[in-house]
Structure 1
């Protein structure tokens, strides 16, 4: 995979991360190739799975989702069927922005985005506290986003 990432492909990826809607002619100009080779390289990067899709990135702040809470989750059962049930259930909660299985003192770390503390309490009561095999949670409210970025280094 590393050999497919020559300097030109890295530049293409960096430009697409910065602006996935960049016209192919402008992208070709920025990387120093004509349109056809750039289009071919993009197709190859997609086929290799390096580019997995394109999407609009919405501003949570403009949508009124200014409250971020991180939730530590400890499960009562960590056997594979229990993990699969938990994973499926947490994926169904629209306010969950991220969820990671953790190696350490707890089992999962969930990032929840909401309008305010009242909205978060509703999410906690109606959704998070009803997750299968949930043993305990700890919530940590974010005061300020110091670094919040998309992956840009290729």
Structure 2
């Protein structure tokens, strides 16, 4: 069970994962050793899965962000596993979810341009034997960045 100090520690690390033990201890009003032990415990218990850097897509030349809904024509473990393998091989697909409703999958993709998105849809996704329909929504502007999880 998380206490208020654990929640404050997690919130601080979501804002800046480079915080030192001393900086955490100052923020949480704990000794450095207490802050370090809490951080290690939260890592060991799986609350903190990893530490990553957030890159700027525009600086990397990825000017098109889109959400792509995929509907399968045939459903079964083989088709689902085959489609999941395809998704995992494509670096431009940065997130994937299974859904309820009309679409079976929602994919978040980053591409260099519209031509690259078109190729991904028509030459990769629609060519998969289980895919029956693909619908895309191109992001015009992201006015709220991916936010930290509530703690």
The alpha-carbon deviation at position 97 of structure 1 amounts to: 1.5
The alpha-carbon deviation at position 125 of structure 1 amounts to: 3.1
- Asked if 1:48 is matched to 2:45, the reply is yes
Matched ranges for 1:10-25 at <5 A: 10-25=7-22
Cα 1:126/1:22, change in 2 over 3 Å: same
1:28-76 Cα shifts (integer Å, max 9, x gaps): 1100001111111111111111000111111112112121121111112
The alpha-carbon deviation at position 6 of structure 1 amounts to: 0.6
Q: 1:110 aligned to 99, 107, 111, which one?
A: 107
Cα 1:138/1:41, change in 2 over 3 Å: same
- The whole-number CA distance in structure 1 between the counterparts of 2:30 and 2:127 is 54
Q: 1:29 aligned to 2, 26, 30, which one?
A: 26
- Asked if 1:81 is matched to 2:78, the reply is yes
Q: 2:93 aligned to 93, 96, 99, which one?
A: 96
RMSD: 1.4
Q: 1:142 aligned to 121, 139, 143, which one?
A: 139
Cα 1:26/1:92, change in 2 over 3 Å: same
SS at match of 1:22: coil
TM-score, normalisation: structure 1 = 0.91
The alpha-carbon deviation at position 152 of structure 1 amounts to: 3.8
Runs of 4+ in 1 over 3 A off after TM superposition: none
1:102-152 Cα shifts (integer Å, max 9, x gaps): 100121111111121112122223322233411111122111112222324
- The whole-number CA distance in structure 1 between the counterparts of 2:91 and 2:59 is 17
- The whole-number CA distance in structure 2 between the counterparts of 1:91 and 1:132 is 17
TM-score, normalisation: structure 2 = 0.92
- Asked if 1:153 is matched to 2:150, the reply is yes
Aligned length: 151
